[in-house]
Amino acid sequence: MLPIKHDMHIHTFASTCCLDERQTIDNIVLQAQELGLERIGLADHVWDNPNLVPNDFYKEQGKNRCINLKRSATRFKNSDIDVLVGCEVETVAPKKFSITEELANELDFVLLATDHFHLHDLVAQPKKYKPKHFAKHMIEMYLGGIRCPFGDIMAHPFLAMGYYEIYEEIIESISDRTFIEVFQETAESGKAVEITTHYLGNPTRRRLFSRDIPIRILSLALEAGCKFVFSSDAHQLESIGRVLELKTLAVDAGIREENIHKIALRG
């Protein structure tokens, strides 16, 4: 049994990358209720770190929108759906994050993204764009996220955003043993592993990589004792429903109801 009753990664119109004006908190809640979800997490991109310089995209993503959203979510307090407001934090480099712990403490939860490699002007890049170098860099960035003193969920782990042409080779160059070690540290940190719709590929394009890749990653995370959450990473209303498509992928990786992280369970 693996019912999908939550979606912990939904963007709202407060993210500048979200171009859907209908992506308001009210519309998102209605859509989630129609899908039978009991708990959702709103997670926009936020920059609130005075010690680091944001790129142009993040300049527009101050913490106020996020704080306002949190305030407006209080009206769902007694409804049949939990509406959590958090944010998606950028890992610029290991130990360098787009927000401070102070803001993290004000939010309901925090997603840590460690693989936005397509943001060349901001995110640390590998020494060489060879699969082996990329893999090493990807692991260092991921471990940076795990060792971050705050954060609850590892967003879309082990993707190579912007570099899908070498993605399969990158993942193949990482041994099962390395994955197990990294995921054991994840389990010990208490952070959840996200099962993301990015693993399904883009339906409008050719599938970008074999389904065996996310199955392998998730199976090893499970073996290492990790707990999981489901996420649509939706930037538009129609995409929220894709979270339900993750069920077969998760089941095939051996994930069951008892492996769901407590952050995704209705409080």
Q: How many CB atoms lie within 10 A of CB 190?
A: 13
The residue range among 128-136, 164-172, 218-226, 227-235 that interacts with Zn ion, by the rule CB under 5 A, is 227-235
Amino acid at 43: A
Does position 115 bind Zn ion by CB under 5 A? no
For 85, the 3-state DSSP assignment is strand
How many residues contact Zn ion, by CB under 5 A?
Answer: 3
Q: Please, what is the minimum distance in Å from the beta carbon of residue 198 to Zn ion?
A: 8
Q: Which is nearer to Zn ion, 113 or 264 (CB)?
A: 113
Q: Which is nearer to Zn ion, 177 or 205 (CB)?
A: 205
Q: Please, what is the minimum distance in Å from the beta carbon of residue 177 to Zn ion?
A: 27
The residue range among 50-58, 110-118, 130-138, 146-154 that interacts with Zn ion, by the rule CB under 5 A, is 110-118
Does position 113 bind Zn ion by CB under 5 A? yes
- Judging by beta carbons within 10 Å of its beta carbon (0-12, 13-18, 19+), is residue 175 exposed, middle or buried? exposed
Q: Which is nearer to Zn ion, 112 or 171 (CB)?
A: 112
Q: Please, what is the minimum distance in Å from the beta carbon of residue 266 to Zn ion?
A: 22
Does position 234 bind Zn ion by CB under 5 A? no
> 128 with 75: CB under 8 angstroms?
no
Q: Which two tokens stand for residue 190?
A: 């208490």
User: How much is the CA Rg of the chain, to the nearest whole Å?
Assistant: 17
Torsion of CA 152, 31, 248, 233, to 10 degrees: -40
Q: Which residues contact 102 (CB under 8 A, 6 or more apart)?
A: none
Among 82, 233, 234, 243, binds Zn ion (CB under 5 A): 233
Q: Please, what is the minimum distance in Å from the beta carbon of residue 12 to Zn ion?
A: 11
Q: Which is nearer to Zn ion, 48 or 233 (CB)?
A: 233
The residue range among 82-90, 122-130, 185-193, 251-259 that interacts with Zn ion, by the rule CB under 5 A, is 82-90
Q: Which two tokens stand for residue 130?
A: 């060879």
Q: Which is nearer to Zn ion, 180 or 237 (CB)?
A: 237
Q: How many CB atoms lie within 10 A of CB 84?
A: 22
> 88 with 37: CB under 8 angstroms?
no
Q: Which is nearer to Zn ion, 143 or 188 (CB)?
A: 143
- How many H helices and E strands in the chain? 9, 8
For Zn ion, what does the binding mask look like between residues 31 and 70, x meaning CB under 5 A?
Answer: ----------------------------------------
Q: Of 3, 27, 17, 16, whose CA–CA distance to 240 is shortest?
A: 27
Q: Please, what is the minimum distance in Å from the beta carbon of residue 71 to Zn ion?
A: 22
Q: Which is nearer to Zn ion, 113 or 222 (CB)?
A: 113
Q: Which is nearer to Zn ion, 88 or 152 (CB)?
A: 88
Residues 150 and 99: their CA atoms lie apart, in Å, by 10
Give the footprint of Zn ion on this chain (CB under 5 A).
88, 113, 233
